[in-house]
Amino acid sequence: MEYDYREAMKLKNQLCFPLYAAARAVTSLYTPYLKPLGLTYTQYIVMLVLWEEDGITVGEICKRLLLDSGTLSPLLKKLKTLGYIEKKHSEDDERAVLIYLTDEGRALQERAKDIPVQIGQCVKLEPDMAQQLYVLLYKLLDANKNDR
């Protein structure tokens, strides 16, 4: 059978589109919960990383969030302005910048603690389907790790 580029070029045949649209739809669910905290979704996931492990390098945050430093730097600047984080140069390596939560940043976790449950109630998938999707998405990310 001959390759039909016209069929291949249809939006309905692109894996990227439902991934893109679903990501936008799910991340938009966070807006009403994050807005009262003064956070964007991307700032929120930075805070999730720091609530999990405080005092890590900018490079480690980039790695965990699959972001480049050009994207992360303005986010960190805004979180610093909001009073949630502080930056310190590493004593071991002056080039390495460590990110620490402030008292306000730690207190924000308490204010944000219900967001995962609230979002879970908004996502209209059965728990087993959500788990399957989670596994498949991480398989996709892992399979394409070398492309980043």
* Per-residue confidence (pLDDT) for residue 148, from 0 to 100: 56
Residue 95: the pLDDT is 85
pLDDT of residue 147: 67
| C-alpha span between 61 and 63 (Å, rounded) | 5
Question: What average pLDDT values come out for the chain (148 residues) when binned by 10 residues?
Answer: 92 96 96 97 98 96 96 97 95 90 98 96 92 95 79
